[in-house]
Amino acid sequence: MRESDGSRLTEAAIEVSSLKKAYGALQAVDGISFAVREGEVFSLLGPNGAGKTTTIEILEGLRKQDAGTARVLGTDPWADGYALHKKIGVIPQGFKFFEYPTPREAVKYYAALFGVKADVEGILAKVLLQDSAEVYFTRLSGGQKQKVGLALSLVNDPQLLFLDEPTTGLDPQARRAVWEVIRGLKREGRTVLLTTHYLEEAEELADRVAIMNKGRIITSGTPAEIITNHSSGERLLVHGSERLAKYLEKNASLPVEFDGRDLISLSLHRKEDVMAAVAAIQESGLEWDDLRTKRDSLEDIFVRLVGEPMEELEAKA
Amino acid sequence: MNARRVVADFGVFSRGYIRSRIGAFFALVFPVILILIFGAIFSGGSSEPVSVYFQNQDGSQVSNGFVSALNGTNTIRLRAVDTSQNFTSYLLSHSASDGIVIPSGFSSAFISGKAVNVTVYGNPASTTSAIVSGITRGVVNEFNLKRAGGSSVIGVEPQNVKSQSLKYIDFLVPGLVGFSVLTSPMFALVNISSQYKRDKIFKQLSLTPLTKSEWLVSKIFFYIVLTIISFLLMTLVGVFAFGAHISLTPWIIPFLVVGPLLFVSLGMLVGTGSKSVESSAVVGNLVTFPMMFLSGTFFPVSTMPAYLQSFAHVLPLFYVIDGLNNVMTFGNYGAALTDLGVLLVLSAIIFGLAVRFFKWRED
Ligand SMILES: Nc1ncnc2c1ncn2[C@@H]1O[C@H](COP(=O)(O)OP(=O)(O)O)[C@@H](O)[C@H]1O
Ligand SMILES: [Mg+2]
């Protein structure tokens, strides 16, 4: 079962140390290290080309690293891949399958390959596919195909799952359905390594996140830890004129920024600062509007660290 | 090698094959259509007389006798052209190349013993022209003999190698079985292997206990079954629609097994060595098409020019079709054994290469 109490050290399901992989001159993975604890959902978050798929394929035993070590469930994935594969479940990025089996047949096929007596109907129900269990794979929607991938990854009842961008290209409704399935996996105590370039997805599902860019991990931790470590602190935002900005700069004794049009931002260091700031605004007697405080979101930090706004990254995807 | 996994993969693959319909069409229906078309074109061909235009510029009793002697051979059917027409322009305007002209004075020359020539028009490249000229020569000889008051001493009695006469259809059935043995697995495997690689389906399968040899063996079994069904269909059509003479011996079976083994492996090798689905299709066609036409599928190899015949001997399909001809048509089992030996060696090599170069995962 999952250890929610962080004080006890649980065994690592995945341990990666100084992992490197190059394609020709391109250093796709450039010396990354991280560990995934048993029972947690760990997310590799990063833009396209960050090296997430390369990393995950090394961990699945589908690629061989150039340098560094990877241990998955205590084994070397490249050398012991055949044994490891019986214990893990995988959805590759852009999951595709044979055109003509139905989801039910596909699950039965996998059960025969693994030589297990799988609860076919239970698995189909778990991934919310009962209604489409008799439709040929090629005729399923993108979200349903992805659910077939999830169903197949569950046939051998794996303790560890690798989900490579399981919701990329899905509409919001289908994405939420897949999230629901992943939450279910976590409740059952399975370990999940999830890659995504959707920040929201990592925030929604992951216990811990590693932000990856250009083959390196820039930062990692729980979403809250990342925000604390990289946040520029809390701010007070208020709409007002340049005169108000000047007044506050003189009288509020807090760092003030003005965006040149009508947005004034004051950095708050202590809890009490917010009182002083509000008081100064009141004293100025000038027009103001829409007062609020704001904390850096994971997205703000991601943008600052990766150096590109998220929307642009998604547009490229 | 685990039988349960091979059977499971066989089941999923064959169900998909039937459901997609397109593969089943090319494997089962298309060769039958080919047999019907080629059988219809060629099986009537030998009994149907060749049409030949002629102009009798003499119009005497002797020349009329000559014409009926030509007609009497039942090999050519003569069509008269009026003497008012220019004969060569008439041939051209009717897109015909074969014609016979009996010159005026034919009768008087025949009676007086003066030399006279019957003109035979023809196209040296066409086999019908050779027939027309041969037939005409035969009738001319007969007339010369008659005039000299002699009679033939040596005759010809037509007799075939086998008790029944061999017909085109007897070569066509083994040829098209070979066509099917080649094309069904080749086109499918070239496509599958490159497409599964592109769609990462091989990676997906490599994450299960299924091994690549098990996967390949299941494909080979599938195409053996398909080939046997296709063989039975074509034999039925050949025998019942065209009266083909085929001996059904157990000797046929090894060829229906080794053929698919060879071409599943070859298709896998071609697809696996290619960078994209498109390039694999090009390479696949380059390998398949020469074999499809030059291995004795539609015409016996012995009717081809010598240099093409030697080329045919390096094509693996040649040994399948030659072997099938040997067992189905000639009952020549010694020669069939040689064909089978060549095929076994080739398939072992190609299967080995396919297993070696076909990768589940990359490094
Ligand atoms: N098989 C490959 N051959 C060459 N380059 C590759 C290959 N796979 C990925 N790359 C390159 O390596 C980089 C990292 O890719 P990838 O691991 O797929 O990143 P991500 O999954 O984060 O998008 C990209 O620049 C990509 O183009
Ligand atoms: Mg990726």
Partner residues linked to A191 by β-bridges: A160
- Contact list in A for residue B208 (CB cut-off 8 A) is 85, 110, 113-114
Q: How far apart are CA A205 and CA A194, in angstroms?
A: 9
Strand pairing partners for A194? A43, A163
More confident residue, A182 or B76: A182
The structural domain count of chain B equals 2
Q: Give the pLDDT confidence score for residue B119 in this predicted structure.
A: 92
* B240: amino acid identity, one letter: F
Domain that holds residue B16: 3-43+167-357
pLDDT band at residue A309 under the 50/70/90 scheme:
low
pLDDT in tens, B217-256: 999 999 999 999 999 999 999 999 888 888 889 999 999 9
- The number of CA neighbours under 13 Å toward the Cβ of A271 is 0
Asked whether residue B153 is assigned to any structural domain, the reply reads no
A30: pLDDT strictly greater than 90:
yes
Window from A189-203, B5-19, B156-170, B319-333 with minimum mean pLDDT = B156-170
Residues of chain A with CATH 3.40.50.300: 2-87+158-229
Q: How confident is the model at residue A271 (pLDDT cuts 50, 70, 90)?
A: confident
Question: DSSP state, A61?
Answer: T
Q: What pLDDT, on a 0 to 100 scale, did the predictor assign at position A316?
A: 46
Atom of ligand 1 at shortest distance to CA of A212? 22
Interface check for B337 against chain A (CB to CB < 8 A): the answer is no
Q: Say yes or no to pLDDT of A29 above 60.
A: yes
Interface residue A23 vs chain B (CB under 8 A): no
Say whether residue A105 is in contact with chain B using an 8 A CB cutoff: yes
Q: Which residues of B touch A98 (CB under 8 A)?
A: 12-13, 16, 201
C-alpha–C-alpha distance, residues A240 and A290, integer Å: 9
Cα separation, A187 vs B276, whole angstroms: 42
Chain B residues with beta carbon closer than 8 angstroms to that of A115: 4-5, 209
Q: Is B359 on the interface with A (CB under 8 A)?
A: no
| Cβ(A54) – ligand 1 distance below 6 Å | yes
- List every span in chain A annotated with CATH 3.30.70.3400: 232-295
Residues B234 and B270 occupy one common structural domain: yes
Q: How confident is the model at residue A226 (pLDDT cuts 50, 70, 90)?
A: confident
CB contacts, 8 Å: A136 with chain B? 19
ipTM, 2 dp = 0.79
Which residues in chain B have Cβ-Cβ distances shorter than 8 Å to A101?
A: 12, 15-16
Q: Does A62 contact chain B (CB < 8 Å)?
A: yes
pLDDT of residue B165: 61
Q: How far apart are CA B253 and CA B228, in angstroms?
A: 8
- Ligand 1 nearest atom to the CA of residue A197, by list position: 22
- Residues B39, B182 within the same domain: yes
- Residue A136 near residue A101 (C-beta atoms within 8 A): yes
Q: Do B222 and B94 fall within a single domain?
A: no
Which chain A residue is nearest to residue B17, measuring alpha carbons? A100
Q: How far is A208 from chain B (nearest CA, A)?
A: 26
Is the shortest distance between the CB of A50 and ligand 1 below 6 Å? yes
Q: What percent of chain B has pLDDT over 70?
A: 94
Question: Are B328 and B344 members of one domain?
Answer: yes
Q: Is A314 a residue whose pLDDT tops 60?
A: no
How confident is the prediction for chain B on average, in pLDDT? 87
Query: Is residue B158 in a domain?
Result: no
**Same domain, yes or no: B106 and B226:** no
Q: Is 80 exceeded by the pLDDT of residue B159?
A: no
Query: Are B118 and B28 in the same domain?
Result: no
What is the structure's pLDDT at A190?
A: 95
pLDDT interval class at B160 (50, 70, 90): low
Four-residue CA torsion sign, A200, A201, A203, A204? positive
User: What are the structure tokens assigned to B90, written together?
Assistant: 């008439």
Strand A41-45 with A191-196, pairing: parallel
Choose among B7, B201, B363: nearest Cβ to A64.
B363
Mean pLDDT of A184-208: 92
Residue B149 confidence (pLDDT) above 50:
yes
Residues B9 and B133 in one domain: no
Q: Note whether A197 contacts B: Cβ–Cβ < 8 A.
A: no
Give the model's confidence band at A212: pLDDT under 50 very low, under 70 low, under 90 confident, else very high: very high
SS3 A33: strand
Interval B114-129 mean pLDDT? 84
Q: How many percent of chain B have pLDDT more than 90? A: 40
Q: Would you place residue B123 in the very low, low, confident or very high pLDDT band (cuts 50, 70, 90)?
A: confident
Measured between alpha carbons, how far is A145 from A148 in angstroms, rounded to an integer?
5
C-alpha of residue A195 to centroid of ligand 2, in Å: 8
Q: Give the mean pLDDT of A26-40.
A: 95
**pLDDT over 80 at A8, yes or no:** no
pLDDT band at A273 (very low <50, low <70, confident <90, very high): confident
Q: What is the pLDDT of residue B164?
A: 53
Q: Once rounded to an integer, what is the mean pLDDT over residues A191-205?
A: 91
Answer whether residue A308 shows pLDDT above 60.
no
Q: What is the mean pLDDT of residues A181-199?
A: 93
- pLDDT tens-digit map of A94-125: 899 999 999 999 999 999 999 999 999 999 99
Least confident among A23-27, B50-54, B178-182: B50-54
The bridge status of strand A288-294 relative to strand A263-268 is unpaired
Determine which residue's CA is closest to atom 9 belonging to ligand 1: A54
Query: Residue B298 in 3-state DSSP?
Result: coil
- The string of pLDDT tens digits covering residues B176-225 is 999 999 999 999 999 998 889 889 899 999 999 999 999 999 999 999 99
Å between B320 CA and nearest CA of chain A: 31
Min Cα–Cα distance to chain A from B192, Å: 10
Among A1-15, A50-64, B164-178, which stretch is predicted with the lowest mean pLDDT?
A1-15
State the distance from the centre of ligand 2 to the C-alpha of A95, rounded, in angstroms: 12
Average pLDDT for B273-301: 86
Q: CATH for A232-295?
A: 3.30.70.3400
pTM, two decimal places = 0.78
The helix (run of H) or strand (run of E) holding residue B139 is: helix B127-147
The finding on whether A82 has its CB within 6 A of some atom of ligand 1 is no
Give the separation between CA A137 and CA A216, rounded to whole angstroms: 37
Q: Indicate the top mutation candidate among A53, A64, A213 to test ligand 1's pocket, ranked by most ligand atoms within 8 A of CB.
A: A53
A136 touches chain B (CB under 8 A): yes
Q: Are residues B291 and B188 in the same domain?
A: yes
Whether residue B352 has pLDDT greater than 80: yes
Count of Cβ atoms closer than 10 Å to residue B68 Cβ: 10
| Alpha helix ranges (H) inside B301-332 | 306-312, 316-325
Cα B34–Cα B38–Cα B43 angle in degrees, nearest 5: 145
The residue among B150 and B212 whose pLDDT is bigger is B212
Contact present, B279 and B195 (Cβ < 8 Å)? no
Same domain assignment for residues B204 and B342: yes
Label residue A4 by pLDDT band (50, 70, 90): very low
On chain A, the residues whose CB falls within 8 A of the CB of B20 are 99-100
Mean pLDDT of A55-74: 95
Distance of CA A281 to the CA centre of its chain: 40
B160 occurs within a structural domain: no
Q: CB distance A85–B7 less than 8 Å? A: no
Q: Does domain A2-87+158-229 have CATH number 3.40.50.2000?
A: no
User: A216-221 and A263-268: which strand pairing?
Assistant: unpaired
Confidence at residue B43, expressed as pLDDT on a 0 to 100 scale:
65
Closest CA to B291 of B181, B206, B215: B181
Contact B181, B292 (CB under 8 A): no
Residue B337: pLDDT over 80: yes
**Which residue on chain A is closest to B1 by alpha carbon?**
A113
Residue type for position B81: V
Neighbours of B8 (CB within 10 A): 23
> CA–CA separation, B277 vs B199, rounded Å?
10
Residue A135: the pLDDT is 96
Q: How confident is the model at residue A234 (pLDDT cuts 50, 70, 90)?
A: confident
Residue B234, domain member (yes or no):
yes
Q: Is A49 in the pocket of ligand 1 (CB under 6 A)?
A: yes
B211-214, Cβ contacts within 8 angstroms, sequence gap of 24 or more: B211/B1, B211/B2, B211/B5, B212/B355, B212/B358, B212/B359, B212/B360, B213/B1, B213/B355, B214/B1, B214/B2, B214/B5, B214/B6, B214/B9
Which residue carries 């560094």 as its tokens? A68
> Is B164 in contact with B130 (CB distance < 8 Å)?
no
Q: Report the relative pairing of strands A12-23 and A26-37 from DSSP bridges.
A: antiparallel
For B16, which of A82, A93, A101 is closest by C-beta distance?
A101
Q: What is the DSSP string of B327-350?
A: IIII--HHHHHHHHHHHHHHHHHH
Using the mean position of ligand 1's atoms as its centre, give its distance from the Cα of residue A313 in Å: 16
Are B55 and B172 in the same domain? no
User: Within a 10 A sphere around the Cβ of A306, how many other Cβ atoms?
Assistant: 19
Residue A71 Cα to ligand 1 middle (Å): 22
d(CA B69, CA B82): 20
Query: Which long-range contacts (C-beta less than 8 Å, at least 24 apart) are formed by A6-9?
Result: none
- Claim to verify: residue B348 and residue B234 sit in the same structural domain: yes
Name, in order, each residue with C-beta under 8 angstroms of B141's C-beta and a sequence gap of 6 or more: none
Instruction: Return the higher-pLDDT residue of A123 and A254.
Output: A123
Which residues, 6+ apart, have CB-to-CB distance to A98 below 8 Å? A106, A137, B12, B13, B16, B201
Asked if residue A28 has its Cβ within 6 Å of ligand 1, the reply is: yes
Residues B308 and B347 grouped into a single domain: yes
Contact A100 B201 (CB under 8 A): no
pLDDT at A262: 87
Ligand 1 near A51 CB (within 6 A) = yes
What mean pLDDT do residues A237-253 have? 89
**Overall average pLDDT of the B247-267 stretch:** 94
Predicted local confidence at residue A104, as pLDDT: 97
Spatial distance between the Cα atoms of B251 and B333, rounded to a whole number of angstroms: 8
Give backbone dihedrals phi and psi of B59, rounded to 5 degrees, phi first: 65, 20
To the nearest whole angstrom, how far is the Cα of B218 from the nearest Cα of chain A? 13
In B, minimum Cα distance to A77 occurs at B207
Please, what is the average pLDDT of chain A?
88
Q: Which of A74-83, A167-176, B4-13 has the highest mean pLDDT?
A: B4-13
CA of A93, closest atom in ligand 1: 21
A293 lines ligand 1 (CB under 6 A): no
Residues 6+ apart with CB under 8 A from B30: none
pLDDT tens per residue across span A72-89: 999 999 999 889 999 999
Task: Report d(CA A160, CA B318) in Å as an integer.
Answer: 53
State phi, psi for B184 to the nearest 5 degrees.
Answer: -55, -55
Q: What is the spatial distance between Cα A41 and Cα A183, in angstroms, rounded to a whole number?
A: 9
CA distance linking residue A87 with residue A157, whole number of Å: 8
Q: What is the pLDDT of residue A153?
A: 95
DSSP one-letter string for A210-222: EEEETTEEEEEE-
CA distance A92 to A60: 10
CA distance B354 to chain A (A): 20
